[in-house]
Structure 1
C-alpha cells in the first residue's frame, strides 16, 4: 500500500501543485479586490466562491453582487482553474494507464489473494505450454496453485482460461526472492514449488531460493541440460525432470519390456491396453543431433543398437562418437535418407527443433520405407492436428511429458514407486498383471488413487484400527451397497513405514498409517472412501449389519 501511495503522489505531484496554485491565486485575488461597498470578501467566502466556480457549478455572486473588478478577476479565475482541472484530470487518466501503477496494484491484489488462501497450494513458475497443461489439470482436480511468469501475454492467457477455480497469477521476475515470497513461499499452506520455465538458470534460481528459505518444501524442477540437473541435485532438489531423458526411457521401455510399457501408459491414463506399440530391434535413423538427439543417441549406444545420425550442422550441435555413421543433411530429402540406409532401417526419429522439418522427414521416410516405426518430435502443441494426421507411432511432446510426470508426482506419488518396483520384475509379471486388471477393469482407462489410513483422510477406518479391530485389505474391496459383491478395484501397492509390497493379498491385515495404491473403474474411489470415512458403512462391510442409530432402537436391539 505504501508503494501505491508513493507512485500516485509522485505522478500527481505536478498536477496537485498546479491546482493548489490556481486555487490560491484565485482565492487571494477575490480576498484582495474590493466589492461595491469597498470591502473585499473574507477568505472563507472567497474560497467558497472559487470552489463552486472552478467546478463550473455557478451558484451566482454570493454573498452580494460583485464589482466590475471582481467580475473581471472571476473571469480570469474561471479559465485558470478550469485549465488546471483539465490538466489534473488528464494526468489522472494517464496515471490510471501507467504501467508502474498497474503493476503495483496487480502485485498488491496478488499478495492479498495469496495471503487469504486457506487451502494447500503449489507455486508454479512459468505458464508456457507445460504450465498451462499442469495448471488446467490441477484446477480440474480442485487443487489450488498460484502462477508466476515474466511474460504478460501468458498471464493474459491465464486470465482468459476457463478454470473451475480461480488461479491467481503475477507477472514478475520469477528468479527474484521477493517474488517467491509474494507468491506464498513462506505461507504455511504452501505444499511445493514447480519450476517449469524454459530457462535452466531461472529454474535453478527458483529451486535454490526455495531450499534456502523453506528447506523441507518439495521442489520439482524442469531441466534440459545435465550440468543444470547436477547443480540442482547438489542442494537437494527433490525431483529433476529432463523431458528428453524421460522420453528416451519411455522409448526403450517399450523396446525391451512392451508389457511394462503398456501397463505404465494404461495406469497413467495415456492410452488403452488394446493398442500396443512396440518399437522393433534393428537399425535406427536419428534425424537431429541437438539435446533430444543426444539423449536418444546415448541410449541407442548403451543398448547396443545400430544408429545412423542425420545432422546438417554437426559443427554447432557437436559430433557423435561414431563419425562414420553420420550423414550430413536435414533428412527432408530422399537423397539424404538413402545415404542413411533408409531401406535397411526399422525405425526413424524425426527429432529436430522444427516441426515442419520433422513432418517432412516422416513423409519422405514413409514413401521410401512404409514399414518404418516412426517417432516424431512435436515442438509446438498447436501443431497437434498435423502430427495426428501423420499417425506417428510415438510422439515426443515436451510439455505433455513434463505435465504427465509432474501430475504423477503430485497426485499419486506411490504410482511412481510402483513403476520403479515393477521394472525390477520380469516381463511375464507385467503381462500377467495386465490380464488380471483387464478381467476386473475391462479395457477402459482406470481411476488410480491413494489411501492413507490416518484420522484426517480415513477417520472411520483409523479409529477402528486404533480400537483394535482386525481389518483385512479384502474387506475394503467389498461394495458398501452389497458386501457380497466386490468393488471393481485392484490393489497395486502397500507402503508400511517405508516397506513396500507389490500387489498385496486381500488377506493382508491393515495397520494404522498404511498407504495403499489402488486402481479401479471410475467411481470406485468414492465408494471406498465412503466406507473409510463413515463408521456405519465400515461396520456394514466388516460385520454385515448396520447398527441402530436412534436411541430407542439401540435400547430395543440386543446388546453386542
Structure 2
C-alpha cells in the first residue's frame, strides 16, 4: 500500500469515486428545473404563466430533498404537477444511487487506510519529544515497546498485520503509541512514520522477514544516515549486508545465544552476570545451574542447531547430533532419527551425556524431547528452544535449565543497547576477561545489590548532565569515585550502586575501577544500582549544594540573600576572646 502524499489526495479520491453519482444528481436537477420552467401554469386570475428559473430551482431543491412540498407562487396546473411527479421519482433514483455509492466509498479499504494514514502522519508530526521508530509488532516488537514505555521513551510502530496494530490500543501504555498497518519495505511509509522527523532518535527493525528488515536498514541509511539503526537478522548473509550499509547493531538471536552458551561453558560467572544485567526491569534473577562440560546431545540441526554446534566446538565440547534428515555434517557423530525416540537417544549416548539441546522448530517436539531425555537421565542439563512466546506457560511448567526464546533475546539486547549504550562494550570486554575475576565481581555485586535486576545507566561528565561536578573538575579539584558514591541524604552511607565501567579515552577502558580512581571531565561511567540510587547520583553531580554536602559535609547557603549573609559573616573579623 502506497501512502497518499498530500492531504488533498483524500479529497480527490472522494471526487473520483463520487463523480458519476454527482453528475447524475446535477443532470436530474437541471432537467427537473428546465421542465418545470417550460410547463404552463395559471395565476390567480386564470392567466397562463411560467415559473422563473429561480422559483423552479427553489421548488425542486426542497421537494427533491424531501424537505417539504408547497406549490409556489400559485397552485400548479395539471401539467406542472405531472412534471413534478416525474422529477420526484427521478430524484429518488438519483439520491438512492448517490447514497449507495457514498456508503460503498466509506466502507472502501483504500479510503479507510487513507484516513488512517492521515491521522497517523498527523500524530507523528505533532510529536515534540524523542521517539524510536519500531518496525514490526510481533512478539519481539511488543517486548521492546513495553520496555521503552517503562523507560519513558516514546515509540512509533509500523506493522503489516492490522490485528496486531489493534492490540496496541489495548496494551495500556503510559504514552500514546502512533501505529499504522503498512509495509515497512516502502520508503514512503517510513517517511510518514517519522524516519526524517527531527525527534526520531533511532530505528528498530524487528519483523520476522530478513528482506523487510534489510529494506528498513537501506532506507534509513539513505534517507536518515545520522540515525542509528538496530536490525534483526536470521541469516548471516543478511547480517553482512546490513553491516555493509552502516547498520550499527545487527542482532541474530541464535548467534547471540550461541555466544552466550560458549560464555557459560567458558566463564559461568560472566554468563550469570550478563543475564543479571540485561534482564527485564522489575524481575528477579535466580542463580542458574552452570552448564557442565562433557558429552552433549543436539536434537535438530537447523539454523539454531548449527549455531549450537559451533559454540560447542569453540569450547572443545563433544556433541552428538540427532536429526531426521541425512547427515550433512561429517565432522560430528550423527544419529539418524527423531529426538523423541528413546532408541535414538540411547544411540546418542543419553545415559552418559551431561546435557541435551532440543533445537527443532516445533515447541511440542522440543518439550517431548526434553521429557523423554529426562526420563532416561534425570541429571541432564536441558536447553529448550521456545519458538512461540504464546507457549510460555508450557515451558515454565516444565522448568528447563535454560529456555531459548528468540523474542526475549532480541528484546533484552535491544533494551541494553537503547537504554545504556555503554553496557554493550562492557559486556563484550566481560566475555574476554579472566573467569576468576568475573566470579569475584559477580559475587560482590549480588551481595551488595541483591538478585533483582538492577537499574543500569551511564553518565558522561559534562556541563549538560553533570554541571556541578564538571565545574569542580575544571577548577582542578580532585574527586574520586568513593567520594562521589555517597548518599545525598546521609553522606555517611553509601549509595546502593556500583561503578561497572569507566570509558575515558579511545584506549582507556577500565572494568570495575577502584574506589580511589580520580574522575576527569569528559569521563563516561557505567553504573548499576537499586531503584532510587540513580536519582540520588544524578542529584549529586548536578546540584552544587548537594555535591558540596556529599564531598565536604557542609551545606551551602541557598539563594542570593543567604549567600550575601554567609559572605559577610566570613568577612567579619573575629572578636578577641579572653
Question: TM-score with structure 1 length normalisation?
Answer: 0.95
Counterpart-to-counterpart distance in 1, 2:392 and 2:447: 34
Is the contact between residue 263 and residue 273 of structure 1 (CA under 8 Å) also seen in structure 2? no
Shift of 1:507: 2.5
Q: Which residue does 1:439 correspond to in 2?
A: 447
Q: Where in structure 2 are the equivalents of 1:421-436 lying within 5 Å?
A: 421-436=429-444
Specify the SS of the correspondent of 2:41: coil
Q: Which residue does 1:130 correspond to in 2?
A: 140
Shift of 1:273: 6.3
Q: For 1:485-536, what per-residue CA distance to the aligned partner results, in whole angstroms no more than 9, with x for missing partners? A: 2111111111123332111223333222221111111111111112223232
| Match status 1:355 vs 2:367 | no
Counterpart-to-counterpart distance in 1, 2:66 and 2:286: 80
Q: Which residue does 2:574 correspond to in 1?
A: none
Counterpart-to-counterpart distance in 2, 1:389 and 1:273: 17
Q: Which residue does 1:450 correspond to in 2?
A: 458
Q: For 1:158-208, what per-residue CA distance to the aligned partner results, in whole angstroms no more than 9, with x for missing partners? A: 233221111111222211221222222222222122111111111111112
Aligned length: 556
| Match status 1:252 vs 2:256 | no
Counterpart-to-counterpart distance in 2, 1:443 and 1:174: 40
Is the contact between residue 450 and residue 518 of structure 1 (CA under 8 Å) also seen in structure 2? yes
| Match status 1:531 vs 2:540 | yes
Match of 1:31 among 14, 37, 41: 37
Is the contact between residue 472 and residue 506 of structure 1 (CA under 8 Å) also seen in structure 2? yes
Match of 2:308 among 278, 296, 300: 296
Match of 2:111 among 101, 107, 121: 101
Q: Which residue does 2:349 correspond to in 1?
A: 341
Q: Which residue does 1:243 correspond to in 2?
A: 253
Which segment is superposed worse, 449-458 or 461-470?
A: 461-470
Counterpart-to-counterpart distance in 2, 1:438 and 1:296: 29
Is the contact between residue 267 and residue 446 of structure 1 (CA under 8 Å) also seen in structure 2? yes
Specify the SS of the correspondent of 2:345: helix
Q: Which residue does 2:179 correspond to in 1?
A: 169
Counterpart-to-counterpart distance in 1, 2:468 and 2:58: 74
Shift of 1:540: 2.0
Structure 2 residue runs of 5 or longer lacking an equivalent are 1-6, 572-578
Q: Which residue does 1:231 correspond to in 2?
A: 241
Match of 1:61 among 67, 71, 81: 71
Shift of 1:455: 3.0
Q: Which residue does 1:18 correspond to in 2?
A: 24
Match of 2:528 among 519, 526, 534: 519
Shift of 1:133: 0.7
Q: Which residue does 2:188 correspond to in 1?
A: 178
Counterpart-to-counterpart distance in 1, 2:554 and 2:369: 67
Residues 63 and 532 (structure 1 numbering): CA distance in 2 closer, same or farther, change over 3 Å?
Answer: farther
Specify the SS of the correspondent of 1:483: coil
Shift of 1:366: 1.0
Is the contact between residue 262 and residue 314 of structure 2 (CA under 8 Å) also seen in structure 1? no
Is the contact between residue 255 and residue 279 of structure 1 (CA under 8 Å) also seen in structure 2? yes
Is the contact between residue 501 and residue 512 of structure 2 (CA under 8 Å) also seen in structure 1? yes
Q: Where in structure 2 are the equivalents of 1:150-161 lying within 5 Å?
A: 150-161=160-171
Specify the SS of the correspondent of 2:177: coil
| Match status 1:139 vs 2:149 | yes
Which segment is superposed worse, 440-449 or 16-25?
A: 440-449
Shift of 1:265: 1.2
| Match status 1:399 vs 2:411 | no
Q: For 1:330-381, what per-residue CA distance to the aligned partner results, in whole angstroms no more than 9, with x for missing partners? A: 2112122122221121111111001111111111111111111101000010
Q: Which residue does 2:296 correspond to in 1?
A: 284
Question: TM-score with structure 2 length normalisation?
Answer: 0.92
The Cα RMSD (Å) is 1.9
Shift of 1:391: 0.8
Match of 1:548 among 543, 548, 557: 557
Which segment is superposed worse, 463-472 or 231-240?
A: 463-472
Counterpart-to-counterpart distance in 1, 2:102 and 2:431: 66
Which segment is superposed worse, 419-428 or 272-281?
A: 272-281
Specify the SS of the correspondent of 1:448: strand
Is the contact between residue 449 and residue 519 of structure 1 (CA under 8 Å) also seen in structure 2? yes
Counterpart-to-counterpart distance in 1, 2:476 and 2:77: 102
Q: For 1:260-301, what per-residue CA distance to the aligned partner results, in whole angstroms no more than 9, with x for missing partners? A: 111111122367565232111111111111110111112222
